[in-house]
Structure 1
Amino acid sequence: MADLRTDWTLKEISDIYHTPLMELIFRASTVHHKYHEIGEIQVCTLLSIKTGGCPEDCAYCPQSAHNNTEVEAGEMLDRETILSAARKAKKSGSTRFCMGAAWRNARNTKDFERVIDMVKEITSMDMEVCCTLGMLSDEQAAALKEAGLYAYNHNLDSSEDFYNRIISTRKYQDRLDTLNRVRENDISVCCGGIIGMGETDKDRIELIYNLATMPTHPESVPINALIAVEGTPMENQPKVPWHDMARMIATARITMPSSMVRLSAGRVDMSIEEQALCFMAGANSIFSGEKLLTTDNNKPSKDRKMFDLLDLTPREAFKDAKEEHLPEYR
């Protein structure tokens, strides 16, 4: 079995990334075979529980208050709407339910208390629960852990240099600090990035380097293709080609063999054949459902047809989970 390493060099990752594509996919598939069941895919659903009005100025995001998009700021969804969405997701085959709120950071308000309650309720449905709520304090991370939160998403987005060119309202280190708080509270880390924002290959390699050299690899690594939304500074960015997604996924798979690598945003624009090559390259997780926060995504019925055609099977909840990440009731 390939060794799990956290001492990768930039040159090693660059050499992997620049490997001829078919050879790269073959190598990544070989690593994938050693660490994961082939054809087993984790199906996740992502729900925006509080949409729009975010004070951050992320250049790619339609939910930023700085960007003139059609996304309107709204209140947090009510309890039954969220629970109904979770039940529908489970019925459709999802085993992880992710809740996203357009906050710069979680605040100690009634809304955060409601998130805590939702984590408890949805965990009791025997689903892995993930949240993405912005920056966290130690106390908030501990409260989420006590409620049964399984995973926390906080993406690095890109290299530090490129990040600082597209976001000015927070620093890269702020993201790293939140990830450390999540890890210190024994919550599974979900952390990846976005390609297609105008970054270079060097930026993409540095993103993988920053993830693969963490003391512990993120348990989940989402690879997103930019969805260019009108009204954002990136509205004219071209569509990311499938082979760029496959190259990023393969590089992530080789450098982080045991992580779940998620083929995330942008999948809606990919054919089944293109997605199949990404699965061959090491992707073993997807988001299913009509929306990814505010952008379009693949409908469950379409994904069921793909699963049947490619003989894919959904991964069960909490499979191979580390003991410290399991909710107490299990």
Structure 2
Amino acid sequence: MTEVRYNWTKEEIAEIYHTPLLDLVYQAATIHRENKDYSEVQISSLISIKTGGCSEDCAYCPQAARYNTGVNVHAIMPKDEVIAAAEKAKAGGASRLCMGAAWREVRDNRDFDKVIEMVKAVNSLDMEVCCTLGMLTESQAQRLADAGLYAYNHNLDTSEEDYKRIITTRTYDERLDTLKHVRKAKISVCSGGIIGLGETVADRISMLKTLSNLPKHPESVPINALVPVAGTPLADQPRVSVWDMVRMIATTRIIMPKTVVRLSAGRTEMSVVEQAFCFMAGANSIFAGEKLLTTPNPSFDTDMAMFDLLGLSPRKAFKNGRPNEVKEVEVAG
């Protein structure tokens, strides 16, 4: 089995990233197939439980209040609508529901109380529950854990060096602090980034170094392709090449061999052949359903037809244990 390491250097990651493409995919696929469940792909569904009006200035995000993107501000969803969405997602094959709120940070108020009740309700449906709510304190992370939260998403987005170009309203260290609080509460960590922001390849490599050098690798690493949205500062960014996505996925698979690698935003622009390359390179999770928060996404039916064609099967919920019983993703070899 491939040894799991936490001391990757930028030079080593760069050498992997720049490997000739077919050799890189072969190397990543070989590591991926060391896992007997390599053909299982986790299907997650992402819903926006509170939309728009965010005080952050993330340059890619249509939900920032300062940008005119046509996204209407909606208060927090009623719990029964969330449960209905979760049931629909489960019927479509999803084993995880991720609930996103356009907040800078969680505040200890009635809205957070409502989120806690949503977590409990979705957990009772035998689905993994994930939240992405912005920055968290230790006590808030523990409250979510006590409610049965399975995973928390908090992406790094880009490298520490590039970060201030994309976001000025919070620091890179604050992102890392939230990941520490999530880990301390024994919630599984979901953290990755976005490519196509105008970053350099060196920025991509630096971000992967940060993730792979954490004390424990994230259980889940989403690799997103920017979906440019009119009204945001990055509206005119060119679409990122699918081969850049394949390189990112393959490199992530090689340096974090036990991690679930998520083929996330940008799939609507990819053909089945292009997505197949991503799965071959080590992606073993997707978001399904018509929307990713506010951007379009392939439908469940479309994805199920693709799974059937490629011989993939949906991964069942709680493969790594129940909330607060998440197994170590790494086994040093």
Identical columns (%): 58
Q: How far apart are the structure 2 equivalents of 1:274 and 1:65?
A: 34
The amino acid that maps onto 2:78 is D
Q: Kindly state the Cα deviation for residue 325 of structure 1 after the two structures are TM-superposed.
A: 3.7
Structure 1 residue 73: Cα displacement: 1.4
> Which letter maps to 2:63?
Q
CA contact (8 A) 2:187 2:323 kept: no
Shift, 1:311, TM fit = 1.0
Counterpart residue number, 2:329: none
Aligned residues: CA RMSD: 1.2
Partner deviation per Cα, 1:123-153 (whole Å, 9 max, x = no partner)? 1111000000000011110000000000000
Do residues 292 (structure 1) and 292 (structure 2) align?
A: yes
CA distance in 1, matches of 2:193, 2:322: 24
Task: Work out whether 1:130 is the aligned partner of 2:130.
Answer: yes
Q: Distance in 1 between matches of 2:117 and 2:79?
A: 9
Corresponding residue for 1:195? Answer: 195
Q: Could you tell me whether the CA contact under 8 Å between 1:261 and 1:282 is conserved in 2?
A: yes
Report the TM-score when normalising by structure 1: 0.97
Q: Given the superposition, is the C-alpha separation of residues 10 and 36 from structure 1 closer, same or farther in structure 2, using an over 3 Å criterion?
A: farther
Equivalent in the alignment of 1:161: 161
2:150/2:324 contact within 8 Å kept = no
Paired position in structure 1 for 2:206: 206
Q: Which moved more, 1:29-38 or 1:44-53?
A: 29-38
**For residues 64 and 295 of structure 1, what CA distance do their matches in structure 2 show?**
14
In structure 1, runs of 5+ residues without a counterpart are none
Residue 91 of structure 1 corresponds to which residue in structure 2?
A: 91
Cα-to-partner distance string for 1:152-211 (whole Å, 9 max, x where unaligned): 000000101111111110000000000000000100000000000100000000011010
1:41–1:313 Cα contact (<8 Å) kept = yes
| Closer, same or farther: CA 33–322 of 1 in aligned 2, 3 Å | farther
Q: Deviations over 1:56-107 (max 9, x none)?
A: 0000000001211111211011111111000000000000000000000011
Cα deviation code 1:212-259 (max 9, x no counterpart)? 010100000000000000000000111111101000000000000000
Q: Is the 8 A contact 1:188 1:325 kept in 2?
A: no
Q: Matched residues in 2 for 1:257 and 1:324: separation?
A: 22
Q: Answer yes or no: is the 8 Å Cα contact 1:150–1:325 preserved in 2.
A: no
Secondary structure (helix, strand or coil) at the match of 2:3 reads: coil
Instruction: Name the aligned partner's letter for residue 320 of structure 2.
Output: D
Per-residue deviation, 1:323: 7.5
Aligned to 2:331: none
Q: Distance in 2 between matches of 1:67 and 1:323?
A: 37
CA contact (8 A) 1:42 1:316 kept: yes
Q: How does 1:1-330 map to 2 (within 5 A)?
A: 1-321=1-321, 324-325=324-325
Letter in 1 for 2:205: I
Q: Is the 8 A contact 1:36 1:258 kept in 2?
A: no
Is the 8 Å Cα contact of residues 45 and 97 (structure 1) preserved in structure 2?
yes
For 1:195 and 1:290, how far apart are their aligned partners in 2? 22
Superimposed CA distance per residue, residues 22-44 of structure 1 (whole angstroms, 9 cap, x where no aligned partner): 10000000110113512210000
Structure 1 distance, partners of 2:230, 2:8, is 38
**Contact 2:150–2:323 (Cα < 8 Å) also in 1:** no
| Aligned residue identity for 1:61 | C
Amino acid at match of 2:158: S
Number of residues paired by the alignment? Answer: 327
Contact 1:62 1:231 (C-alpha < 8 Å) held by counterparts: yes
Amino acid at match of 1:203: D
**Which structure 2 residue ranges, 5 or more long, are not aligned?**
327-333
Distance in structure 2 (CA, Å) of the matches to 1:205 and 1:275: 22
Change (3 A) 1:228 1:28: same
Amino acid at match of 1:95: S
What corresponds to 2:330 in structure 1?
Answer: none
Deviation beyond 2 Å, 4+ runs, structure 1: 320-326
The answer (yes or no) to whether the contact 1:291–1:297 under 8 Å persists in 2 is yes
Asked whether the equivalents of residues 145 and 323 of structure 2 are also in contact (C-alpha less than 8 Å), the reply is no
Judged with a 3 Å threshold, the aligned counterparts in structure 2 of structure 1 residues 285 and 36 are, in CA distance, closer, same or farther, namely: farther
Give the letter aligned to residue 237 of structure 1.
Q
Quick one: structure 1 residues 266 and 36, their matched pair in 2 at CA, closer, same or farther if it must change by over 3 Å? farther
How many Å separate the matches in 1 of 2:229 and 2:93? Answer: 29
The answer on whether the counterparts of 1:45 and 1:289 sit within 8 Å (CA) in structure 2 is yes
